[in-house]
Amino acid sequence: MNGLLVVDKRAGVTSHDVVAIVRRATGERSIGHLGTLDPMATGVLPLLLGKYTRLAQFFNSSEKSYDGTIRFGFATNTFDAEGEAVAEHKPLTHSLAELRELATCFHGEIDQIPPVFSAKKIQGVPAHKLARAGVEVPVKAARITIHNFELLSLEGEEANFSMCVSAGGYVRSVAHELGQLAGCGAHLSALRRTKAGHFALAQAITVDELKSLTVAAIEARLPHPRTLLPEMPSITVDDQTAGRLRNGMQVNLPDFSQAPLVKIFTSPVDLLAIGRRVAGTLMQPIVVMG
């Protein structure tokens, strides 16, 4: 099965668990997810299947949107509810308006330090594995962009929020740092990803649905190939041109207003390659699906 499947991940399973479930449901062995979700988090988890795993590099810059809850009063070592408290409870004394003022520090481009317990790799090893083994994890700050961070309500010591953040951003880190600014500590207590790039919950299939549908029914839920990577124009080529592309040869294609990358099809639904503009109308295939 070749394509992109949008799964609505449930709480309590890892992104790797979801990949295993999809393998069993589809029979496809080559599967990769586009941006991991922590076990406690739910929501949109796009998966590339089959030959489409070769396209992962083009999805790396996708923004992600979330709804969630921040629990004030104490921080945890993982920055979320799955971790251990690192200090005694300290009451929240700020109002919603005051917390919103503090939250303005997290708008726009910021340098963010990832959680020690994360999937970020340190010399090829996931940071969370090193942390659980008691090894000191040398995490470095990363430049990210938070396009929107809105505290929607405050009930007791829990604030509901919405956020849109660039690729590589950690919502847990924002919750932790906001707690530091509030002087009482905080951690992420709930998180639901509502959108990843162009993929939203309305397109997603649940894990329970995956287990009950036939392979054909699952394949029917895959977005149309031409809707993927919408920033790239599409073109359909003839057999002779397709043969040259399969051999890695450069070809001349119509001008797409100087678009740097183009999706190249051999039929309305069969994606053959991604081409990069060399000069004028000359295109070099940089990924060939076969």
When computed from its CA atoms, the radius of gyration of the chain, rounded to whole angstroms, is 22
Residue 22, CA distances (Å) to 30, 136, 175 in order:
10, 35, 32
Q: How far is residue 2's CA from residue 219's CA, in Å, rounded to a whole number?
A: 9
Q: Which residues pair with 154 in a beta bridge?
A: 159
Alpha carbon of 150 to those of 77, 97, 98, 105, 191: distances in Å? 24, 11, 13, 12, 14
Catalytic residue numbers?
A: 38
Q: How many CB atoms lie within 10 A of CB 70?
A: 28
